[in-house]
Amino acid sequence: MKVLIFAAGLGTRLKYLTKNKPKALVEFNGKPILEHLILNLKSQGFNDFVINVHHFADQIENFLKENNNFNSNIEISDEREMLLETGGGLLKAKKFLINSDNFIIYNADIFSDINLKKLIKKHKENKAIATLAVQERDTSRKLLFNEENELCQWKNFATNEVKTAKETKSKLTAWSFTGIHIVNNQIFNHITETGKFSIIDLYLRLAKKHKISAYKANNTFWFDLGKPENIKVAETYVKKHATLL
């Protein structure tokens, strides 16, 4: 099974740290974020990666070359001409993913011990077109699922903005998205969007007719390394739990 790593973003939340490098190469605990992720994925049995690039793309390609692709199969989805956001990035990478029945999508700046084999098992049981790893976390923007764990809404709890996928009389539960998901390649048959677009907006549109499921992630740690302060918190956590790395 392939893993699509979203590494093309500008990393604006990292401020000065991405002035001269891509966010995927910002250091965390002595190694670039991307290296941590690849090694984590390899430890879980994955060895085929597609990495999208845009911001300082050459640096990512050179880094991978210098490390012999970490003895993995790595393909580059090149977004140098235009940053396509998450949905556009998925569509751009279609040629690399179409022959993989299902594939993982993982944001490059996420550091977690989420068990991907359990996510895959749940996804196959659900027979969903996409299964999103979610968790309880204090954040303003959340995805709302019905009692069958099917995506129904997106809501910004700070502004009360709501995007509805489908109406339901079922009680809705709000979960925070982890930036980790598994997708069936049949999704490419249903993408009509072009250019830049959000994968969450795509999921909300598809959820009207297709099953987009939630998987309650059973993990001990999850960090969004997209902010300098978050990197410091994660490094402190790792120092207290030295066996993590």
- Check residue 245 and give its pLDDT: 62
Alpha helices in the chain (DSSP H): 33-43, 57-66, 85-92, 94-97, 116-126, 199-206, 228-240
Nearest to 38 by CA among 17, 60, 56, 59: 60
| Band of pLDDT at residue 169, cut at 50, 70 and 90 | confident
Residues 6+ apart with CB under 8 A from 228: 14, 15, 17
- Check residue 168 and give its pLDDT: 87
- Check residue 219 and give its pLDDT: 86
- Give me the residues paired with residue 155 across strands: 142, 162
- Check residue 129 and give its pLDDT: 98
Average of per-residue pLDDT across 25-42: 97
Residue 212 CA to residue 146 CA, distance in Å, equals 11
- Cα torsion 161, 163, 169, 170 to 10°: value is -90
**Pair 171, 209: CB distance under 8 Å:** no
Cα atoms in the 13 Å half-sphere on the side-chain side of 62? 7
Q: Answer left, alpha or beta for residue 45, where phi above 0 means left and psi between -120 and 50 means alpha.
A: left
Tokens read off for 160: 């009360």
Domains within the chain, CATH numbers bracketed: 2-244 (3.90.550.10)
Residue 56 CA to residue 2 CA, distance in Å, equals 24
| Band of pLDDT at residue 241, cut at 50, 70 and 90 | confident
Is it the case that residue 181 has pLDDT exceeding 90?
yes
| Band of pLDDT at residue 220, cut at 50, 70 and 90 | confident
Residue 54 DSSP code: -
pTM: 0.97
Is it the case that residue 158 has pLDDT exceeding 70?
yes
Residues 6+ apart with CB under 8 A from 33: 23, 24, 25, 26, 27, 108, 109, 111, 225
In sign, the C-alpha dihedral spanning 173, 135, 131, 7 is positive
Is it the case that residue 55 has pLDDT exceeding 80?
yes
Q: Within 10 A of 96 (CB to CB), how many other CB atoms are there?
A: 19
| Band of pLDDT at residue 91, cut at 50, 70 and 90 | very high
